[in-house]
Amino acid sequence: MLSAQYANVGSWIVDIIAVIAIIVSIIIFFIRKKSIHLLIIYLAVMAGYIGIIILDEYFNIPATRALAQVFVIFMVVAVGIVYQSDLKVLFFTLTKTREKNADFETSASDEELRKAVDEIIVACQSMSKTRTGALIVIAPTTVANHILETGVELGAIVSSALLEAIFNTRAPFHDGAAIVKGNKVLAAGCFLPLSQSQTVSKSLGTRHRAGIGITEESDMTTIIVSEETGIISVAKKGELRRFVTPDRLRDILHETLRISSPSRYRSISK
């Protein structure tokens, strides 16, 4: 009899811990996505559902409880639809066994990286003048399979001519992102998860949201050239800086790629 009571208490403890873990995970997820208002809505729904379950135990309201269950399921499905790109990122992060870009590993010297940075800056300036939309991802470490698989593998040395050709409006994959690691362009035409942050200006389009979104979940830095205005922007750690000058862009890229050079501007991450 005593062992049965202990088992019952143990199951209650496990149940409570599981519920707390789920709630904390949900809170962390919405905070990281900067969707506080949605967090409040979902916490209110959860509290209301728990309240209905308790009331049903005392007042027998099965119809209300069933309706509440349907509503909760609808809310869960809605989260899956709205944040499907983020869930896809999480799934592949948990299940990947090796990075696809391992085939393109290089030991580029600081001089080679500086040349790559200069080529990127020249390309951005040129595309800014012609108002050619561009999205360049700078990866200081590894790039997940599911990002590279959405585009076309290149593994080519970075050059301004290559980048301008990639984002030429007549190119088949100009709407996607170019992934740069070290002094090589790993892939082009890649699709990135869009930022769901409510702090992102409504005037910014899909290219900017994609550029911000990938930096919210990784250590990557993105360069965005606006097709409408030609403005060069840089996103890092979920934050977007606009009107980035060539000198400032050079310092940011040197820091991202860990190139030893004096910085004349404050880091974007500060």
Q: What is the pLDDT of residues 50-85, one digit of tens each?
A: 899 888 888 888 888 889 888 888 888 887 777 766
Q: Which domain holds residue 65?
A: 2-82
Per-residue model confidence (pLDDT) at position 261: 54
Q: Quote the CA–CA distance of 93 and 264 in Å, as a whole number.
A: 36
Decide the pairing of beta strands 177-181 and 134-138: parallel
Residues 105 and 78 in one domain: no
Longest CA–CA span in the chain (Å) reads 81
Q: What is the pLDDT of residues 99-110, one digit of tens each?
A: 444 445 556 889
State the burial class of residue 139 (Cβ atoms within 10 Å of its Cβ: 0-12, 13-18, 19+). buried
Q: Quote the CA–CA distance of 111 and 221 in Å, as a whole number.
A: 20
The packing angle between helices 36-59 and 2-32, to 10°, is 150
Residues 27 and 143 in one domain: no
The token duo for 125 is 């300036």
Residues 113 and 202 in one domain: yes
Q: Is residue 270 part of a domain?
A: no
* Number of compact structural domains in the chain: 2
Structure confidence at residue 235 as a pLDDT band (50, 70, 90): very high
Residues 47 and 174 in one domain: no
198 and 124 in contact (C-beta within 8 Å)? no
Q: Quote the CA–CA distance of 248 and 246 in Å, as a whole number.
A: 5
Q: What is the pLDDT of residues 18-62, one digit of tens each?
A: 878 888 887 887 777 667 887 888 888 888 988 998 888 888 888
Residues 129 and 160 in one domain: yes
Q: What is the pLDDT of residues 109-168, one digit of tens each?
A: 899 999 999 999 999 999 999 999 999 999 988 887 778 888 999 999 999 999 999 999
SS3 28: helix
| Boundary of a domain, candidates 28, 48, 82 | 82
The token duo for 167 is 């984002």
Supply the pTM of this predicted model.
0.66
186 and 143 in contact (C-beta within 8 Å)? yes
Question: Considering only CA atoms, which of 202, 214, 234, 254 is closest in space to residue 134?
Answer: 234
All residues at 6 or more sequence positions from 72 whose CB lies less than 8 Å from its CB, including other chains: 45, 46, 49
